[in-house]
């Protein structure tokens, strides 16, 4: 997995949801704040996105928007339309109990959309994702982001009105969930983020857009993510990128926002927290996977970052989570 995939993986919880919706004016929907991310893809017609902060935004065919923090937003046929609340929880999304509160069927131009949501653990966001704006808008451009467009087309087919074999089956013997849709939604989120950072790479001298395209910094990040248990030093990470120790440390810190070993420790603890949350691995195994020679050393490092012991973290939700700082 690459750095971007890992950043998404440590935050993703639960099952993503998506639906295909066709509406004719008048219509307007308000989505309440959620601990996750939402997206809309315009397949036909147009609509207005009304964000929690900022001005309404007109969306046309092929436009994609991602709301990575889901502060609440509206979508409507006109920016002045009265909005009807969508009263959904993530339990509703996970079990498929989804019905938009608007069944508009007027005489105006039809708007067709793919709408969806991801549940993200915002208590320990990866800095790559915290750098995103409240609204990521990817306007339609001929030939731009073919992987993203391919994922949208496949998702649209899966969500079409005609049922397809395997789409609604529980697959309880294999995964216990709708494997096709879940996989496509995961790919869509990854391609959305890749497209955003690719668009920014030409004019970004600092930040994660620059870090992901810089050969030395990107090589070091991949090395850390591929093998967090390795006893990395600034010198060995610099060697991954083919730079001197001092030059690498300056470049890494300037782009990522923290020194190389600070990021290494933060990533180890983030991986450890995910393993504690999502697996039954013993503490000794988690310590080994995250670069600690003993369970005691791991527990001490974990408590220093989270202000709680690993066992207590696993037993319940911690009050504090690690923050990556310079």
Residue 5: pLDDT above 50?
A: yes
Residue 205 pLDDT class (50, 70, 90 cuts): low
57 and 189 both lie in a single domain: yes
Residue 105 pLDDT class (50, 70, 90 cuts): low
> Is 162 inside any structural domain?
yes
> Is 323 inside any structural domain?
no
Residue 152: pLDDT above 80?
A: yes
- Overall average pLDDT of the 92-111 stretch: 58
177 and 214 both lie in a single domain: no
- Overall average pLDDT of the 138-147 stretch: 86
User: What stretch of H or E contains 77?
Assistant: none
- Overall average pLDDT of the 273-281 stretch: 92
d(CA 282, CA 289): 11
Residue 320: pLDDT above 80?
A: no
Strand partners, 221: none
Residue 100 is predicted with a pLDDT of: 52
70: left (phi over 0), alpha (psi -120 to 50) or beta: left
Q: Which of 165, 200, 235 is the last residue of a domain?
A: 200
Domain at 294, CATH number: 1.10.10.60
The structure's pTM equals 0.80
Q: What is the mean pLDDT of the chain?
A: 83
Q: Domain total for the chain? A: 2
311 and 182 both lie in a single domain: no
Domain at 62, CATH number: 2.60.120.280
Residue 176: pLDDT above 60?
A: no
User: What stretch of H or E contains 31?
Assistant: strand 28-31
171 and 276 both lie in a single domain: no
Which stretch of 27-31, 51-55, 99-103, 142-146 has the lowest confidence by average pLDDT?
Answer: 99-103
170 and 215 both lie in a single domain: no
Residue 201 is predicted with a pLDDT of: 62
190 and 234 both lie in a single domain: no
> Is 321 inside any structural domain?
no
What is the residue range of 256's domain? 208-315
112 and 165 both lie in a single domain: yes
- Overall average pLDDT of the 78-82 stretch: 93
67 and 191 both lie in a single domain: yes
Structure tokens at 79: 């920016």
> Is 189 inside any structural domain?
yes
């Amino acid at each position: 997995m690459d750095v971007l995939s890992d950043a998404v993986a440590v935050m993703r919880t639960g099952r993503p949801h998506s639906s295909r919706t066709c509406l004719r004016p008048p219509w307007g929907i308000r989505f309440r704040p959620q601990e996750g991310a939402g997206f809309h893809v315009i397949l036909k017609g147009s609509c207005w996105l009304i964000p929690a902060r900022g001005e309404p935004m007109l969306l046309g065919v092929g436009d994609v928007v991602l709301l990575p923090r889901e502060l609440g937003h509206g979508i409507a046929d006109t920016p002045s339309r009265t909005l009807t609340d969508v009263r959904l929880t993530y339990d509703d999304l996970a079990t498929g109990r989804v019905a938009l509160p608007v069944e508009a069927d007027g005489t105006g131009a039809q708007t067709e959309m793919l709408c969806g949501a991801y549940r993200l653990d915002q208590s320990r966001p990866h800095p790559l994702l915290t750098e995103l704006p409240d609204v990521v808008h990817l306007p339609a451009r001929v030939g731009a982001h073919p992987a993203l467009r391919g994922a949208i087309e496949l998702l649209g087919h899966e969500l079409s009105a005609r049922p397809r074999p395997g789409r609604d089956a529980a697959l309880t013997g294999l995964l216990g969930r709708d494997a096709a849709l879940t996989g496509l939604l995961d790919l869509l989120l990854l391609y959305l983020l890749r497209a955003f950072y690719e668009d920014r790479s030409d004019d970004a001298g600092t930040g994660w857009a620059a870090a992901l395209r810089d050969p030395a910094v990107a090589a070091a990040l991949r090395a850390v993510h591929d093998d967090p248990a390795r006893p990395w030093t600034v010198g060995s990470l610099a060697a991954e990128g083919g730079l001197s120790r001092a030059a690498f440390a300056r470049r890494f810190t300037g782009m990522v926002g923290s020194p190389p070993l600070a990021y290494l420790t933060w990533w180890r603890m983030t991986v450890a927290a995910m393993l504690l949350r999502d697996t039954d691995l013993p503490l000794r195994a988690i310590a080994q996977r995250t670069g600690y020679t003993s369970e005691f050393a791991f527990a001490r490092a974990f408590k220093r970052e989270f202000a709680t012991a690993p066992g207590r973290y696993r037993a319940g939700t911690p009050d504090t989570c690690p923050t990556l700082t310079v």
